[in-house]
C-alpha cells in the first residue's frame, strides 16, 4: 500500500508510503489519499486526522516521471484534485506532520491541511518554476495566506525553499519540534483537539476556513448557523452539565 491508514483512539494517521520515491504523488497515492480521507470523514469514532510521510521526506510533490510521460491527470482525483486532497471538501481537522522536505506538491499538500507540526529537518518550497511549471495545486494562493506576501512571492519566483525555523517564525507551522518527533507531536496535538466536543470543533473549523475568503456578512451568517446547529446536539447539554458536576465531559459526537 502506498498510503497507510492507522487509527489511534480518536485519531487517524494517514501515511504516504513511497519512501523510495520520496513520497512523490502518482495515481496510486492520489487515489489512496482520497480513500483515506473518505474513511476519516465516514467514521464517527475518529475525530481528527494526521497526514505524514514515511521516510526522510514528507513529499517531493508530483511524480515527474508521470508528468514527463503525459500522465499528469493521474495525479488528481475528481473530488480531491492533486494528491486526492488539495481541493477536497471535508469537515474534520487534518494536521500535517512534516519531518523532512515538503516541496512542490508536497508543500501544497501541507497547505491543504488545517494545522502543521514540523521538525527542524523540514523545509517548504514551490520550485516548479525551475522545471518550467507552475504550482497549480493551490500553492500560489495559499502561500500568501499562510506567509507574509513578500516571502510567498520570493518562494514562487525563485523556486528556493525555506527552512522550518523561518516557516515557524512567519506562522506557517503551529509547532516546531526536534527531528523524528513530528508525528508523535502531531498525534498529541490531535489528542488535545479530541478532548473537545467534536461537532463544535468541526463547526468552528468551517467558519475559520471560510474567513479566508468570505466577507463579514457571510461570516456572521455562518457563525450564527454554527451556533444554531451545535445547540441541537446532545453534547451541547453535556458541556455545562460536566462543568457543574466538576468532571470531564463525555462527548458522543451527537
Report the mean per-residue pLDDT for the chain: 95
CATH 3.90.226.10 fits 3-193, yes or no: yes
Backbone CA torsion sign across 156, 157, 162, 167: negative
Closest Cα to residue 187, out of 43, 50, 91?
Answer: 50
- Cβ atoms 159, 152 nearer than 8 A: no
pLDDT score for 104: 96
Return the pLDDT at 218.
95
Residue with the bigger pLDDT between 23 and 242: it is 23
List pLDDT tens digits, range 112-153.
999 999 999 999 999 999 988 899 999 999 999 999 999 999
User: Distance between the two ends of the chain, CA-based, in angstroms?
Assistant: 33
DSSP states along the chain: --EEEEEETTEEEEEE--GGGTT-B-HHHHHHHHHHHHHHHH-TT--EEEEEESSS-SB--B-HHHHHTT-GGGGEETTTEETTTTT----SEEEEEE-SEEETHHHHHHHTSSEEEEETT-EEE-GGGGGT---TTTHHHHHHHHS-HHHHHHHHHH---EEHHHHHHTTS-SEEE-TT-HHHHHHHHHHHHTTS-HHHHHHHHHHHHHTTTS-HHHHHHHHHHHHHHHHTSHHHHHHHHHHHTTS-------
C-alpha cell at 66: 508521470
**What per-residue confidence (pLDDT) applies to 100?**
97
Mean pLDDT of the 204-220 span: 95
pLDDT tens-digit series, residues 31-86: 999 999 999 999 999 999 999 999 999 999 999 887 777 777 788 999 999 999 99
- CATH number attached to the domain at 198-244: 1.10.12
Residue limits of CATH 3.90.226.10 in the chain:
3-193
Domain with CATH 1.10.12 in the chain: 198-244
pLDDT range class, residue 242, cuts 50, 70, 90: confident
Catalytic center residues: 108, 128
What pairing do the DSSP bridges indicate for beta strands 175-177 and 101-103? unpaired
Mean pLDDT, rounded, for 208-227: 95
Tally Cβ neighbours within 10 Å of residue 208. 11
Task: Output the pLDDT for position 64.
Answer: 80
Amino acid at each position: 500500500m502506498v498510503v497507510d491508514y492507522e487509527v489511534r483512539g480518536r485519531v487517524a494517521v494517514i501515511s504516504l508510503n513511497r519512501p523510495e520515491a520520496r513520497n512523490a504523488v502518482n495515481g496510486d497515492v492520489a487515489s489512496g489519499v482520497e480513500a483515506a480521507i473518505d474513511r476519516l470523514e465516514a467514521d464517527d469514532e475518529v475525530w481528527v486526522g494526521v497526514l505524514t510521510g514515511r521516510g526522510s521526506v514528507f513529499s517531493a510533490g508530483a511524480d515527474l516521471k508521470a508528468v514527463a510521460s503525459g500522465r499528469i491527470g493521474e495525479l488528481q482525483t475528481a473530488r480531491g484534485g492533486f494528491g486526492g486532497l488539495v481541493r477536497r471538501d471535508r469537515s474534520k481537522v487534518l494536521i500535517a506532520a512534516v519531518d523532512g522536505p515538503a516541496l512542490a506538491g508536497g508543500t501544497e499538500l501541507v497547505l491543504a491541511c488545517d494545522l502543521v507540526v514540523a521538525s527542524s529537518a523540514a523545509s517548504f518550497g514551490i520550485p516548479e518554476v525551475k522545471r518550467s511549471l507552475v504550482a497549480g495545486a493551490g500553492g500560489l494562493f495559499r502561500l500568501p495566506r499562510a506567509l507574509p506576501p513578500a516571502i510567498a512571492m520570493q518562494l514562487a519566483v525563485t523556486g528556493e525553499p525555506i527552512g522550518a525555523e523561518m516557516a515557524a517564525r512567519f506562522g506557517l507551522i503551529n509547532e516546531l519540534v526536534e527531528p523524528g518527533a513530528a508525528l508523535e507531536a502531531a498525534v498529541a496535538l490531535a489528542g488535545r483537539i479530541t478532548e473537545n466536543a467534536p461537532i463544535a470543533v468541526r463547526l468552528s473549523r468551517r467558519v475559520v476556513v471560510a474567513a479566508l475568503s468570505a466577507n463579514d456578512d457571510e461570516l456572521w451568517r455562518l457563525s450564527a448557523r454554527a451556533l444554531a446547529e451545535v445547540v441541537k446536539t446532545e453534547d451541547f447539554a453535556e458541556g455545562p452539565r460536566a462543568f457543574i458536576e466538576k468532571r470531564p465531559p463525555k462527548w458522543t459526537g451527537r
